A and B are shown apart, each in its own frame.
Chain A
Amino acid sequence: MKRTFADLHLRLDLKDVVGAERVISKAAKLGYDLIGVPFSPEAKDNEEITLQSICRKVGIGLVSRVDLRPRNRAQLMNQLRRLRRRFEVVCVLCENKEVARQAAKDRRVDLLNFPALDYKRRFFDRAEAELASKSFAALEVDVKPLFVLEGAARVRLLSCLRREVLTAKEFHVPVVVSSGVSGGLLLRKPLELAAFAGVFGLGEVSGLDAVSANSLKIVERNRGKLSEGFVAPGIRVVKEGGDC
């Protein structure tokens, strides 16, 4: 069966519609079926309508995503309360341990992302992985820094990522590999990303899952939750009325 490929992190400049269209067309041409674009909460509706029409024209699915960068636990809770039901994917950029731990244990968080260049602030350790595995959060790895960095910086990042992927595997935390790019020339085919994921310890099948199954699972789960008939996990309204 053909896999459905998704890149959940395309950083598009939403003010430049022509540029955004070019990148989206490129993603479709490279074989992606679904792209995730981070929107700002304030302008989400207008931007989403514009992108939806581009995506429909190109023949690719759009996932609305929000990147939260809270400074503390309270701020994270507040943002989740306000934004969770407006976006299909919620990613938390964990810049301190307090936020990382809360994000890992909160079921409203889908993706955990860590600073690529600040190795001391990558908090994905065993405790974090254990919390994430219970709340179905996934570890997101952006490959852009790995393409851009060189020498010792890339070696250090690879070493961190390899350790994190190993921990994620141990605790059955799904890993999602995204491009994290804004320009078309840094976009790679999903199979190339899956192969590249091998450099930080994802095997052939896990690499493919990281660019397809793991992302799709998150999107499908959240679309189900955001649909009208959703009551609770496993319970949904099938039919309403007196004769049901």
Chain B
Amino acid sequence: MKRAKRRYLLLQVESEASPSERELLDAIWAAVTKLYGEVGASQAGLSLINYDEEKKTGVIRVWLSAMQQVRASTASITSLLGKEAAVHVMSISGTLKSLREKA
């Protein structure tokens, strides 16, 4: 069986709020669920690999097939912890190693 491909997305949170790892992941899940429903969210294979609260950058892993949906969903995040926010995708890579090299 062919292995499904994954992509790693480096995210940058832009906000006055300082969300924790859990809060960021919840916000991304909520955005994906809002736009694509529970079935769509379940097909994203979304997981948070790491998150730096100081720099407000994080890495998430998604299935390649759902990458555009996740990207659209992160773009639709407009608030975090009740404050205005934006989550930008800084770079995308197939491996964590190359993502770190790009960053």
Residue in contact with A196 in the complex, picked from B15, B76, B78, B85, CB distance below 8 Å:
B76
B27 sits at the interface (CB 8 A): no
Residue in contact with B89 in the complex, picked from A185, A186, A192, CB distance below 8 Å:
A192
Shortest CB-to-CB span from B23 to chain A, Å, is 18
How far is A187 from B84 in the complex, measured between Cα atoms in Å?
A: 12
Which residues of B56-86 have CB atoms within 8 Å of chain A's CB atoms?
A: 68-69, 71-72, 74-76, 78, 84-86
Interface bits A192-208 vs B (CB < 8 Å: 1, else 0): 11011011000010000
Say yes or no: B88 contacts A188, CB within 8 Å: yes
Which residues of A180-222 have CB atoms within 8 Å of chain B's CB atoms?
A: 183, 185-189, 191-193, 195-196, 198-199, 204
Interface size range on B against A? 10 to 19
Say yes or no: B89 contacts A189, CB within 8 Å: yes
A17 sits at the interface (CB 8 A): no
B49 sits at the interface (CB 8 A): no
B14 sits at the interface (CB 8 A): yes
Say yes or no: B76 contacts A191, CB within 8 Å: no
Overall SS of chain A's interface? helix
Chain B residues in 8 Å Cβ range of A187: 86
Chain A residues in 8 Å Cβ range of B14: 185
Residue in contact with A195 in the complex, picked from B15, B72, B86, CB distance below 8 Å:
B72
Interface size range on A against B? 10 to 19
Q: A185-B14, A198-B68 are in contact. Are A192 and B78 (CB under 8 A)?
A: no
How far is A196 from B71 in the complex, measured between Cα atoms in Å?
A: 7
Q: A195-B71, A199-B35 are in contact. Are A147 and B76 (CB under 8 A)?
A: yes
Chain B residues in 8 Å Cβ range of A188: 75, 86, 88
Say yes or no: B71 contacts A186, CB within 8 Å: no
Known: A185-B14, A185-B84, A193-B75. 14 other contacts (CB 8 A): A147-B78, A185-B78, A185-B85, A186-B78, A186-B86, A188-B75, A192-B72, A192-B75, A192-B89, A195-B72, A196-B75, A198-B68, A198-B72, A199-B35
